[in-house]
Structures are given as C-alpha cells and as structure tokens.
Structure 1
Amino acid sequence: MAVTMEGGLTHFSEEIEPFCRWRRTEDFDIVELHLPPGLKKEHLKIQINNTGVLTITGRCPMDQTKPIKFKKETKVAKNCKRNEIRAKFSKGVLYVTMPKTTPIAVAPYVPFQGNTSGTPDRHDADDDTSNMTKCASEFHSKFDSLRGKLWRKTVFEGMAAIVVVTAGVVGAVKAYQYFMASPV
C-alpha cells in the first residue's frame, strides 16, 4: 500500500503485480500483462528509455478512496527494433510486441572450383557463388528454426513426463499410507 500527501490530504493506493507472460520467437518478443478489471487504455503509460528498459505503468481509480497502480520494468532484447514496438489492449490484457532485427545467416566459405585454364566458362563464377551463398543461408535459417522448435517440444514433453511420474509416485505413497493406516 502506498501513501501520498498532497496539500495536507492523504491518498492511499494499492500497488499490484500483474500476471506477466513472455512469448519469444526469432522475429519478435511479446509480453502479455493481465490487468485488473476496470483498467482502461487511457490509464496506461508505456515508455522505453535510452538504455533499453521498457517501463509499463498504470493507475486505475477503483473507488473514491483507493486506486490501484502498478509498474512493470523489463530490459528489451539488444536486437529489438525500438521504433517499431507496438501495444494493444484487449479484454484486460495488454500485449506489447517488440519486433527484432533478423540476424543475417553467414554461409560457410566454399572455394570456387571452376575452370582454371583461363578460358571463359559457360557460367559466370559470381552467379554460381552467390547462388551457393543464398542456398546455404536459406538452409541454415530453416535448420536453426527447426532445431529451436524440436528443442521446445522436447522440453515440453520432458516436463510432462516429470509431472506424470510425480503424480504416480504421490498416488502410490498415498495408497500405501491409506492401507497401512486402516485397521485389519
């Protein structure tokens, strides 16, 4: 609870910590803030400073005596396009979308093994090299994306397996305790 004094009057406000969820992809980050009912778009303020800290604040007058307020600060990614950050407020959820610059995939060096006799080839060497570079770049981009998706799926399935095993162990312990405690 925060107390402020203005001209002899005391104002009470309740500070809350809204539920926050992050979604990260290769192209953008999205932060979702689940805000209390009654909060409107005009009650929100979103700023980013020169050091890359995104600050989201809100103040909502819930009744005559006790407004609710919050402040959420987070550091944005270094490759975030700061001038393209967008926010959308819908059904009590604030979505802040932060697009990222796409890293340029570097193709491995492949030496040109063309004609060394000094006579012109039918194909231009520069076209072949640029096509190889483009193809390698696309391959690395798609491979990295697939690797990331498979890793997330593996982590999710691993966590699900841990939950199932834990539930089974807890159930077995409870069953053992029940049968040991019951009179014969």
Structure 2
Amino acid sequence: MAVNMEGGPTHFYEEIEPFCRWRRTEDIDIVELHLPPGMKKEHLKIQINNNGILTITGACPVDQTKSIKFMKETKVAKNCRRNEIRAKFSKGVLYVTMPKTMVSAPTVAFQGNTSETLNRKADDDMGNGVKCGSEVQSKCGSLRQRLWRKTIVEGVAAVVVVAAAVVGAVKAYQFFMASPV
C-alpha cells in the first residue's frame, strides 16, 4: 500500500504475517509472536474487545519510504480472566499470557471390584491431599482424574490394537489355508 505524504515522497507499507505459536494448558494460554528485527514494544498495541477478540497490531519504519505492519486477531477462551492478560516483549518475541479460571472436570465413575482397587489406590496417592490448601487440593484432584482417564483410554486403545492383530492373524491363516499349494 502506498501513501503520498502531501508533496513528499511516497511511503509504502508492507503487510507481514509474523510466525505465531500457541501453547495451551488447562489453566493458561500463551501466544508467541515472533516479530521482525527493528520492532520495539513502542510499536505494538494489544486490545481486547467486549466480544472476547484479542487484537495485536504493530507497525515500524524500515527506512524513509517503507514501513512494515501486521495485525493478528484471535478469540480468547471463554474462561479467560481478561483482566489478568499480560504481555511481555523480549528478544523479538511477544508473549501474551492469558490465564483461565479452573473448570473442574467431571468425575469418572468406575464399576466392579476393579473400581474399589483403583479408587483406594488413588486415595492412597492423595494421602497428602488433606495437608494441601483447597486450591492445590482441587488441582491435585483434577490431575488424578486426568491421569485415570488417560489410563482408561490407553487401556481401551490397547484392547482395540490387540483385537485388530488377532483378526488380522486369523484372516491371514484362513487365506494361506485356502490357497492351493
């Protein structure tokens, strides 16, 4: 885009798309924008609107007739604590940290004798839970639930893989037995 500055030289703006990387966890989202050399924090602007759209813009001069600029928009998580969003600019990388409120995960119910063993083991692992503060205890509890869910999913996946292997072996056996020698 070219802009003529009232009788002066034509000024060009080059739109860039900076490299962007997201890191998401249950309690925080971090967006990293890798910005070009020459970009300073004075050149950056970060806003969030009422609809939860985070807008990051920046522009800086390259020389007398050329500038670079960018705009990055993203929707923040619904459980983001908007008043606690922070930004840090270091060595050409803008880090925007968006903390989230913790949403407790649903409880997984086990059935049969195995559940008593699993629940007892989980309770034993949480033996120090009473000593923890309520916030730490809730984090320990949600971690325990995630680990058990992961264990169940991995177990089901293993059963599916074994079943597929058995079916494949049976089909291969049938194929070789049916083929003429």
The normalised TM-score by structure 2 is 0.60
Taking structure 1 as reference, are residues 76 and 138 closer, same or farther at Cα in structure 2, changes over 3 Å only? Answer: closer
Shift of 1:146: 3.3
Aligned-residue sequence identity (percent) comes to: 70
- Rounded to whole Å, the distance in 2 between the matches of 1:148 and 1:18 is 37
2:31 aligned residue: 31
Letter in 2 for 1:95: Y
1:3 aligned residue: 2
2:144 aligned residue: 143
1:93 aligned residue: 93
1:43 aligned residue: 43
- Rounded to whole Å, the distance in 1 between the matches of 2:139 and 2:72 is 38
- Rounded to whole Å, the distance in 2 between the matches of 1:13 and 1:34 is 19
Shift of 1:104: 3.2
| Alignment map for 1:45-124 (pairs within 5 Å) | 45-105=45-105
Letter in 1 for 2:21: R
The answer as to whether partners of 1:105 and 1:137 remain within 8 angstroms in 2 is no
The answer as to whether partners of 2:30 and 2:96 remain within 8 angstroms in 1 is yes
SS at match of 2:62: coil
- Structure 1 position 15 matched with structure 2 position 3: no
The answer as to whether partners of 1:48 and 1:54 remain within 8 angstroms in 2 is yes
Bigger Cα displacement from structure 2, 140-149 vs 90-99: 140-149
Shift of 1:139: 6.5
Any gaps of 5 or more consecutive residues in structure 1?
110-130, 151-184
The answer as to whether partners of 2:108 and 2:145 remain within 8 angstroms in 1 is no
SS at match of 2:66: coil
- Rounded to whole Å, the distance in 1 between the matches of 2:34 and 2:150 is 26
- Rounded to whole Å, the distance in 2 between the matches of 1:147 and 1:13 is 53
CA displacement, residues 45-72 of structure 1 (integer Å, 9 cap, x when unaligned): 0000000000000001111110110000
Any gaps of 5 or more consecutive residues in structure 2?
110-129, 152-181
SS at match of 1:141: helix
- Rounded to whole Å, the distance in 1 between the matches of 2:143 and 2:64 is 56
Taking structure 1 as reference, are residues 28 and 106 closer, same or farther at Cα in structure 2, changes over 3 Å only? Answer: same
Root mean square deviation, CA, Å: 2.9
CA displacement, residues 127-174 of structure 1 (integer Å, 9 cap, x when unaligned): xxxx9xx8x966750134436888xxxxxxxxxxxxxxxxxxxxxxxx
The normalised TM-score by structure 1 is 0.59
Count of matched residue pairs: 125
